[in-house]
Structure 1
């Protein structure tokens, strides 16, 4: 991804230079959504203070080592809720780097919205003034599709893809309260298909399954006969390609604590 760099023409303190360059160096999200439905917050408001505190807490949290961060800050009506979710096959180092980038980038691209979401390849960050924990949400939805078509029998390819994603859905939905993620591959129409699915692990098994059913159901309208694509929603997503795009060892994150998580 492209990164921005700044050539400083004046002499500032070293701390200011560090912060200034850092603010410009965050990679762009694959896609982001800055919601106007819940209104905007004002500079120096209680909401902004709570949001900044919350994002700082998430980015500096080293106690969580399983890739799912869900925290709140403040009291109503200025309470902020946030979720950060790392892709289930990335290392802890990659996860924390991605989340840190996301907590800084989201304020640049959505400077005063009370609700926003941004996706990288390796993680997602979402915050809102509404309750978002243990809530299945499929909007906003984004379809990202490779425009190149598969060759040969499109119907056979689509059937193979649907079957693969359905099998991955079943396994992911039955995952733990800290990880609902699965990868796999199949062969259809003499072509290899690689795919992954993931839900935010605060969802129940049924909610995760329902969410993935909805996004997989988008294939005929978004991805039919395409060599790659993904459907992103706040609560779940899938991606498929003709090449292995995920780590061969699933879930490189350390084992989660047996007591689960607090929401």
Structure 2
């Protein structure tokens, strides 16, 4: 089992409010999403608090640039379709994320948590949990100094297997919030994914994924990304 079946996850932020079709918020949102599609970057846009929009995108650190762009471009119209007038929304789809809404303090706002879990269980659940605990500790150790927001690790598993794990934060998080977010999703692995051969936990700010197969197939395969 190389990878859990990818799940399209869409969340509309219910307490974010709504916007009208011809409103300044809609105009600003579409302008920022267009920037995201072209890869030119984004920042808060809007003259008033209720018109300000912030768009964040994230691609798995092992993804090739063209695949990243393709994933984001396909995700944006689907998110707008799922959340047609919500001021805040997020989508995790395959290997990328798109999120938009009004800015929050330090951009850290874990307003939803979701997961995808393989239905196939490990034969030795105790061994899997022990190995996952080791990988989590190793990965968090590298993130803690505040120098990295993406870490990939693997660990020998059983006689011939390998357990793979990736943790990653969005670029807009402060180092301490990145570390806090990754601790959060790491703590959710055991209760959500008990003994599964592969699983992932997602929030609007970070995620963790593990598998007994290498999910980076065809990617660039960096082991970490440094925070600039």
CA contact (8 A) 2:32 2:42 kept: no
Q: How does 1:50-89 map to 2 (within 5 A)?
A: 50-62=28-40, 69-76=41-48, 77-89=50-62
1:231 aligns to what?
201
The gaps in structure 2 that reach 5 residues or longer are: 1-5
Q: Which has the higher contact order (CA 8 A, sep 6+)?
A: 2
Question: Is it true that 1:183 corresponds to 2:155 in the alignment?
Answer: no
Structure with higher Rg: it is 1
| Separation (CA, whole Å) in 1 of partners of 2:42 and 2:35 | 10
2:3 aligns to what?
none
| Separation (CA, whole Å) in 2 of partners of 1:201 and 1:87 | 12
Relative to the length of structure 2, the TM-score reads 0.86
CA contact (8 A) 1:194 1:242 kept: yes
The gaps in structure 1 that reach 5 residues or longer are: 1-27, 63-68
SS of 1:181's partner is strand
> How many residues of Structure 1 are paired with residues of Structure 2 in the alignment?
220
CA contact (8 A) 1:228 1:240 kept: yes
1:158 aligns to what?
129
| Separation (CA, whole Å) in 2 of partners of 1:92 and 1:188 | 31
**Residues 70, 29 of structure 1: alpha-carbon distance in 2 compared, 3 angstrom cutoff:** farther
**Residues 78, 227 of structure 1: alpha-carbon distance in 2 compared, 3 angstrom cutoff:** same
| Separation (CA, whole Å) in 1 of partners of 2:144 and 2:54 | 24
CA contact (8 A) 2:44 2:103 kept: no
2:119 aligns to what?
147
- Larger helix fraction of residues: 2
The 4+ residue runs of structure 1 with deviation greater than 3 A are 172-176, 188-191
